[in-house]
Amino acid sequence: MAAPSGAGGVEVLLNTLQNAGDNESMLKVLNVLDELLSAGTDRRIHYMISKGGSEALLTALVKSACLWVIQVFCSSVTTAVLLGRNRGLDVVFKLFSSHTTKHLRTVKAAVDAFTALLRSKVNCRTAVAKGYISDLLKLYEDWHNNDASFENIPIRRALLHCMHRVANTSAGREALVAEGGMSLLFQTTQTYLTVKTLESLVEPAVQLMRKCYPKVPIPVTSDKSIYSFPLPGRPVDGWVADLGPYDGSLEDDSDEDTENEDPDKDYEDDLETDVNKLRPRPEPDRPLEQLGQYVRLCPELHHDFQDLDSSSELDDSSDEDSPLEGDFNNEKLRGRRSQAGKGKSLSPPGSDSSISLGVDDKNPGSEVESHLQTRDFHKHYLNCSEHSQEGHSSMVDRLLEKYGTCIPNHDPRLYASTASDTKSIAGYSILAFPDFWGHLPPQIQEPMAKRPPHVQRKNVFKDIQRLLCAEDIINKDVFDLEDPSLQGSTEGCPNSLRFFSKFESGNLRKAIQVRSHEYDLILNADVNSSAHYQWFYFEVSGMVAGVPYRFNVINCEKGNSQCNYGMQPVLYSVREALEGRPHWVRSGSEISYYRNHFCPRGGQNSQFYTLTFTVTFLHDDDVCYLAYHYPYTYSNLQTHLKMLENSVDPRKVFFRRQNLCDTLAGNSCSLVTITACPASKAWKDLHQLRNRPCVVLTARVHPGESNASWVMKGTLEFLCSDDPVAESLREAYIFKIIPMLNPDGVINGNNRCSLSAEDLNRQWLKPDPILSPTIYHTKGFLYYLNSIGRTPLVFCDYHGHSRKKNVFLYGCSMKETLWQSGSTINTASLKEDPGYRTIAKTLDRIAPAFSFNNCNYLVEKSRASTARVVVWREIGVLRSFTMESTYNGCNQGIYKGLQTGTREMEEMGMKFSQSLLTLRRNSIQYSSRLIHNASALLDLDDRLLDHKSNNCFEDDEPPCPEEIQYSSCTDLFGANDLDTEVNVNMSRIEEDEGKNERRLTDRKSQQLPHFLQQGAMETLSIKSGQCNNMDISNI
């Protein structure tokens, strides 16, 4: 049928509609109108309405009870607005009815039609202004009270849906709250919980309450970090405008879908398609003459190895501290502290920022020791004392003798003296016990936490009760970094837990007791910024054993968390440590992560999320530490490097720790060189040494990613070990390792940034020498290597991934990027060495936590300034990677279902090193043992590995595909909503992912147990006969 043209046609249609005698002819007319409207412009629709179209429609529809047509028409917001303006709301609302047993279909259709009209926010506000909200609530209550046999659940659901629409506007939310909606919904929902048939009403009601819960600015003085650091060349407080106290006047109507994550974000748009930007372009970003300064960072090339003939005396050209000899006496500690004074101090003049193992005079050591109370531990032994330190050392000795455990590559006294050189903004003077004492991984690997049924719902109910029964809420500040009277003092809070976070890597800004055993915790923003909340690390004490305490971290900012999928925070108990179990363990039950009712002080338009977990402590009055992930401080690293330096045989292992540069705060950024000393001083051996390719490894550019440090610890320890594979690696390569690219961030408890409030992994394109010195000099050093013809064979930057499982690599491939982006460029003519995939293939075989299917090699525009992409493109390193390690655990292989511990992370670091050997087994003629080791590493079936990598485009924080409802704006109403289509698409994606997962699992389960049952040594000494058959040329 041809579309009617001009006014005449529409009028005719409307007339026909109004006078249609039967449903059939009316439907025909409606179809025509529908066509007209869906193809039509606003002007045409407007014209129709002005001709009395909506009246005509409504009359006709009401007459025939064909209310669903309104829903169809209202799929266009414009039509909904126009219908609303023409009394549509009133006409439809009249069809609502209190509880009845008749005309149920009409009532349901009317509610649905009303809901459809509310698609328009203008109509929502009209409905509020006309007082319909109170009527809606009364109707809901009436149906609830009278629907005793639960026969009218669809109508009750429809009413809830309708109120959801109302709640899309701030006026609607306010009206729902003002009319008592929250308590009505809360009470009715409590009864639903007891009746299985009413289950389908619970979730919509809970989500509606969450939506309506009035936004409350986070209870802190300002969104800004309480720590600021004056940046060179910048105004003291110029980094962010203080938005001042919240005035509550912000109107907010832009929040129909306020989730900050867009799962359909088009990653393909992000792929780099400019071939010129995908080609390596090794040319320095600075004058060549500036590169000369990096000569000193290659001491192995200029070393004369005189000591090969003599004893183990060390070269003293090291520009950092020489290794300590294991005898950390008082003299030495004092000497080191006084030296530290020469450096740049961040603390106010006159104050003593050094850390000492002191006791104050009132508590002579022997007495304290005999009445050791765990809760006093840090105060008596680990705090800063301005008094004489005579005697304390021997007391610590006795304590360590009595309680100490032998933790490999850790020494508490060395840690304490090392920490005294660490410069923090707050001038930390107290050591966290776990860092001082050390950590051993527990014997067994811990399973992922089971998610109890409806855990989020239960937690949300508790939150809603705060609003409904405000008088039951304690709301008492018990810890505040800005209030010295609330820092670890027991006075005034006898029935409260005590909190503390003023130590290295600590992050907890404020703790508020909300109920007798429930605390809200507020994290501090990164230094000089107002954002990046995720990392926490704090001490808690004063607990009663066996009582569940609920902790709510209320200012998380990410849209989802692995905590919804089995991940737990970690806990360390001082009492347990003193009893011989110095373990960080996964802890916490009833864990969930969801959007809450708090918002930043600076604006209601952003939102916060709650990470909630419940901890039941084992001991009364213990001192415990809770952290987002296994802490690893800067002082840990420095101690570790000193221990390693001291542990290697200098005749065999060339280990040199140097200062790459100083950070903004004046801490040293270490660069470590590890390689094998030449067999002799003969020219042949020295020549072999000087021709070894370089491998450059970096980690911890993001301070909150402590997992990266544990992986790096595994790499460093392995490379320094006596393992024959490690020996071969040292003979094959010169390792240049910068284990912590962001020391200042780590020290000050940041999550993402450096002191300049910038993400250092977005500075690689043009690093500022003053503001990003560690990146500037790492890049300069890489250019230097490039300029002397020693471009690294491999570059890898270790990271942690907060929303994915497993460990995996991101690399760079021009061809894969072009393929994936659908580019029309003929890639056949482009040459690309496939060697970028070798390491991932090897790791998939030898590293249980590693997942080849999670890897990808796509170059995204948004990552153009990351280490991986810049080192690949500008330095010309073909194998340039980001290695991402999960915070949670694995969903494949033999670690499936288990959370990773530090042992598994260290193992990953070891395996990564081992995988490097496979790159060189064809080219090294020098050691038959090396060839044997390299081949044995790969003694596996190659056929299984020839599949494409999974296309996960995200680098750091992708949306989590798992189906757990954690937010408030998801589809709750099934087929009634247009969201169905989205859901169908989503489930297709999930199916696909499921397939990948299965394929991977199958493959892994065939292979990995073989490796794991045997130790690394056995694995690597498979008979060489087997290796000869291997086709290794494709690797």
Active site residue 884: yes
**CA pair distance 762, 756, nearest whole angstrom:** 12
Q: How far is the CB of 705 from Zn ion (least distance, A)?
A: 5
Catalytic residue among 272, 518, 884, 954: 884
**CA pair distance 254, 128, nearest whole angstrom:** 17
Q: Which lies closer to Zn ion via its Cβ, residue 556 or residue 677?
A: 556
CA angle, corner 217, sides to 212 and 220, nearest 5?
155
For residue 614, the cross-strand partners are 550, 589
Number of residues that bind Zn ion (CB under 5 A): 3
Map the footprint of Zn ion across residues 705-724, applying CB under 5 A: 705
Q: Which lies closer to Zn ion via its Cβ, residue 375 or residue 702?
A: 702
Q: Which lies closer to Zn ion via its Cβ, residue 539 or residue 705?
A: 705
Q: Which lies closer to Zn ion via its Cβ, residue 44 or residue 762?
A: 762
Q: How far is the CB of 993 from Zn ion (least distance, A)?
A: 23
The secondary element (H helix, E strand) that includes residue 23 is: helix 23-39
Among 375, 702, 779, 1003, which residue interacts with Zn ion (rule: CB under 5 A)?
A: 702
Q: Which lies closer to Zn ion via its Cβ, residue 224 or residue 702?
A: 702
Which among 371-379, 526-534, 565-573, 799-807 is the span making contact with Zn ion, rule CB under 5 A? 799-807
Q: Contact, 800 vs 313, CB < 8 A?
A: no
Give helix 902-917 / helix 928-937 axis angle, nearest 10°. Answer: 120
| 266: CB partners within 8 A, 6+ apart | none
Q: Which residue is nearest to Zn ion (CB)?
A: 799
> In degrees to the nearest 10, what's the CA dihedral of 555, 558, 563, 567?
-110
| 174: CB partners within 8 A, 6+ apart | 214
Q: Which amino acid is at 584?
A: W
| 200: CB partners within 8 A, 6+ apart | 153, 157
Q: How far is the CB of 752 from Zn ion (least distance, A)?
A: 8
Q: Which lies closer to Zn ion via its Cβ, residue 164 or residue 799?
A: 799
Give helix 153-166 / helix 121-129 axis angle, nearest 10°. Answer: 100
Quote the distance between the C-alpha of residue 615 and its chain's center.
22
Q: How far is the CB of 745 from Zn ion (least distance, A)?
A: 11
CA angle, corner 504, sides to 503 and 510, nearest 5?
50
Backbone torsion region of residue 505, taken as left when φ is above 0, otherwise alpha when ψ lies between -120 and 50, otherwise beta: left
Q: Contact, 570 vs 532, CB < 8 A?
A: no
Map the footprint of Zn ion across residues 666-695, applying CB under 5 A: none
Beta strands in 268-332 (DSSP E): none
Task: Rule CB under 5 A: say whether 215 interacts with Zn ion.
Answer: no
Q: How far is the CB of 871 from Zn ion (least distance, A)?
A: 15
Q: Contact, 590 vs 550, CB < 8 A?
A: yes
- Tokens of residue 730, six digits: 């040292």
Q: How far is the CB of 637 from Zn ion (least distance, A)?
A: 17
Which among 402-410, 596-604, 785-793, 797-805 is the span making contact with Zn ion, rule CB under 5 A? 797-805
Q: Which lies closer to Zn ion via its Cβ, residue 857 or residue 1011?
A: 857
Q: How far is the CB of 800 from Zn ion (least distance, A)?
A: 6
Q: Contact, 114 vs 93, CB < 8 A?
A: yes
Q: Which lies closer to Zn ion via its Cβ, residue 144 or residue 702?
A: 702
**CA pair distance 242, 237, nearest whole angstrom:** 9
Number of Cβ within a 10 Å radius of residue 278: 24
Q: How far is the CB of 678 from Zn ion (least distance, A)?
A: 37
Q: Which lies closer to Zn ion via its Cβ, residue 172 or residue 704?
A: 704
Which among 521-529, 798-806, 943-951, 957-965 is the span making contact with Zn ion, rule CB under 5 A? 798-806
Q: Which lies closer to Zn ion via its Cβ, residue 522 or residue 753?
A: 753
Number of Cβ within a 10 Å radius of residue 519: 23
Q: Which lies closer to Zn ion via its Cβ, residue 702 or residue 911?
A: 702
Q: Which lies closer to Zn ion via its Cβ, residue 118 or residue 760?
A: 760
CA angle, corner 486, sides to 705 and 389, nearest 5?
80
Q: How far is the CB of 669 from Zn ion (least distance, A)?
A: 17
Helix-strand-coil percent breakdown of the chain, rounded to 5? 45, 10, 45
- Tokens of residue 200, six digits: 């389908």
Which among 167-175, 322-330, 749-757, 793-801 is the span making contact with Zn ion, rule CB under 5 A? 793-801
The secondary element (H helix, E strand) that includes residue 690 is: helix 683-690
Q: How far is the CB of 265 from Zn ion (least distance, A)?
A: 19
| 262: CB partners within 8 A, 6+ apart | none
Q: Which lies closer to Zn ion via its Cβ, residue 753 or residue 917?
A: 753
Buried b (16+ CB within 10 A) or exposed e, 532-546: bbbbbbbbbbbbeee
**CA pair distance 418, 340, nearest whole angstrom:** 10
Quote the distance between the C-alpha of residue 489 and its chain's center.
32
Q: How far is the CB of 882 from Zn ion (least distance, A)?
A: 8
**CA pair distance 919, 836, nearest whole angstrom:** 10
Which among 132-140, 690-698, 795-803, 930-938 is the span making contact with Zn ion, rule CB under 5 A? 795-803
Among 378, 532, 586, 799, which residue interacts with Zn ion (rule: CB under 5 A)?
A: 799
Which among 141-149, 474-482, 796-804, 871-879 is the span making contact with Zn ion, rule CB under 5 A? 796-804
Q: How far is the CB of 312 from Zn ion (least distance, A)?
A: 39
- Tokens of residue 167, six digits: 């709640």
Q: Which amino acid is at 586?
A: R
**CA pair distance 737, 714, nearest whole angstrom:** 13
Q: Which amino acid is at 391?
A: G
Quote the distance between the C-alpha of residue 402 and its chain's center.
39
Which among 13-21, 425-433, 703-711, 866-874 is the span making contact with Zn ion, rule CB under 5 A? 703-711
Site string for Zn ion, 611-630 (x = CB under 5 A): --------------------
Q: How far is the CB of 708 from Zn ion (least distance, A)?
A: 7
- Tokens of residue 176, six digits: 């729902």
Map the footprint of Zn ion across residues 127-156, applying CB under 5 A: none
| 599: CB partners within 8 A, 6+ apart | 215, 216, 217, 218, 605, 606, 607, 608
**CA pair distance 1034, 841, nearest whole angstrom:** 11
Question: Annotated catalytic sites, by residue?
Answer: 884
> Residues in the site for Zn ion, rule: CB under 5 A?
702, 705, 799
